Amino acid sequence: MVWISNALSLFTRRARLVPLAIIEEQAVQADRPSLPMAQVTLLPSLADFAPIWPRMHEVDVKPLAQAAKTPLKTLAQMQADALDDVWPALETHLNDDRAVFHPRFKADDLKSVFIGAARHLRVMQFQMPAILSLDDEPNLSSELRNLPDIQHSETNGVYGDDTIATHAIRHEFGLVNLKRMYGTMPGLISIPLTMIEPAVLDAFLESGQRAALESLQRVVARVSHDYYHQMQPIHDTTFFSAENLREADLPLELKSRFHMATGARYDWEEAVVPHLKKRQLEDLDADLFEPHALTLHKNVFAHMWKRAHFREAMMQDVAWFIEGVKRAKPYFEGQEIQSLYNQPIDYKNFAAGAVVILAHYLYRVAPPGHEIFNHLSQCAIGLNLRRKDMRDILPILAKDLPAGMSGRELAIWHAGNISRRSFGIIHDEDFIPMNHLSRNRARREMVHALKGLESMRPGGAI
């Protein structure tokens, strides 16, 4: 399968979606040889910013660096178009229960905020993650530092996304930032990273299941709130911090237009801090934008889920990922495989770890018991994960495993248990009032951003 086909849309293709009932037939057809890779065009695709790097190969960042030379407004338009399922859902969320005397938010205006941040503030946040092996992260950093026109920030971990899926398998989610000059001003491109246990990446790629990783990329793109980092960037350490861009580098006129001074921000912070302290998550206090963005996108995702085309696309990618896990089984026959941490990995360990990693991403937007988890559980039946195996595979004491769950249900439960130690608090019942405060803050942010954007017209394009 030609992975670059992902580029046209991170969320769904507007073409006909294939019913889940014939996924097996499609899977058989997918074994046909791939077509040759298309020639590189002058304009990059979004896929250029979301490569899947094989393990222990030279991490080729030249195509990424070349694509990064594209004007930010062009990149932002491409990414904003790929997020066309988000903008009407965000519009609905912000307008819910909004007083009638306030102007209504419109999807096109919200989309323009995303693009405007790239044009005026020189920041660009991509949505689909690149995938690489955990032990290749230093190689990525080294290759980026060697580029003549990129000032590189080290890869940054994201709170709550260091996942111990099994005793042998770890996974991390983070960002890599590319800094460069745009005219006389510095700019920054932020790219999500999914970093996977080397043996897991090998199993997918060497058994011909690259398509499963592409499905994982699309799932991550849909559940991620990263687009919102770009919509209020001055408050966001993704872009503005000592390691990345400095707010002092911005002209005063930009700061006065885009820096939001509003009580809505502090109302949210004062309310959410007790929830973090209650769960001993005080280290999240340093960046309270993160739980805000998580809460916002959880509600946006709920609106997107109501749309059949989005829901079916999401379910298809879950099914395709698990299908790839099943097809990778022969890779483990007749060989002893060690993890990065010198733990043995057999097929059961691999399958359980893959389910945990996927479910952990889904918990970013879906509460326990959501339809997507029921679908994942049904897809995973063929993995034959037995409860007695989970007692040895999952890093949990056997006495702490909930009764009455199958092996695959325990893997999904374990992912939720991990998430509750960080971002999973957004699904707790006593967190429900935070939905309203987060929406209030987002409304004020968008009102301010739209005013700032209006004040910048007609000039200012990069």
Query: Which residues face 78 on adjacent strands?
Result: none
pLDDT for position 375: 98
pLDDT for position 251: 64
What is the DSSP code (8-state) at residue 280?
T
Residue 112 lies in a domain: yes
Instruction: Report helix angle 371-379 to 347-362, nearest 10.
Output: 170
Q: What pLDDT tens digit does each residue of the chain (462 aa) get? A: 333 334 334 444 333 344 443 344 444 344 434 434 334 345 678 888 999 999 876 678 887 777 878 888 899 999 999 999 999 999 999 999 888 888 999 999 999 999 988 888 888 999 999 999 998 888 888 888 777 778 776 677 665 567 889 989 999 998 888 888 877 778 889 999 999 999 999 999 999 999 999 999 999 999 999 999 888 767 666 777 777 777 766 666 666 666 555 556 678 888 888 888 887 775 555 567 888 999 999 999 999 999 999 999 999 999 999 999 999 999 999 889 999 888 999 999 999 999 999 999 999 999 999 999 999 999 999 999 999 999 889 988 667 788 899 999 999 999 998 888 788 889 988 888 899 999 999 998 898 888 878 777 655 443
pLDDT for position 448: 83
pLDDT for position 2: 36
Neighbours of 285 (CB within 10 A): 13
> Which runs of E-coded beta strand occur in 119-226?
123-125, 130-133, 151-164, 170-182, 185-196
Which has the closest alpha carbon to 193: 140, 142, 118, 124? Answer: 140
pLDDT for position 197: 94
Residue 115 lies in a domain: yes
- For residues 360 and 7, what is the distance between their CA atoms, to the nearest angstrom? 24
- For residues 146 and 395, what is the distance between their CA atoms, to the nearest angstrom? 39
- Number of helices and strands in the chain (H, E): 18, 5
pLDDT for position 273: 84
- For residues 144 and 65, what is the distance between their CA atoms, to the nearest angstrom? 8
Residue 381 lies in a domain: yes
Residues 6+ apart with CB under 8 A from 296: 93, 225, 228, 438, 439, 442
Contact 109, 88 (CB under 8 A): no
Neighbours of 335 (CB within 10 A): 7
Contact 290, 224 (CB under 8 A): no
- For residues 118 and 128, what is the distance between their CA atoms, to the nearest angstrom? 17
Residue 96 lies in a domain: yes
Our count of domains for the chain comes to 1
35-49 residues labelled b (16+ CB within 10 A) or e (exposed): eeeeeeeeebbbbbb
Residue 461 lies in a domain: no
Query: Which residues face 140 on adjacent strands?
Result: none
Residue range of the domain that includes 206:
3-456
Residue 346 lies in a domain: yes
Which has the closest alpha carbon to 123: 22, 284, 254? Answer: 254
Query: Which residues face 164 on adjacent strands?
Result: 170
Residue 462 lies in a domain: no
pLDDT for position 255: 63
Report pTM.
0.87
Residue 167 lies in a domain: yes
What is the DSSP code (8-state) at residue 32?
S
pLDDT for position 121: 83
pLDDT for position 264: 63
- For residues 374 and 381, what is the distance between their CA atoms, to the nearest angstrom? 11
Query: Which residues face 153 on adjacent strands?
Result: 177
pLDDT for position 218: 97
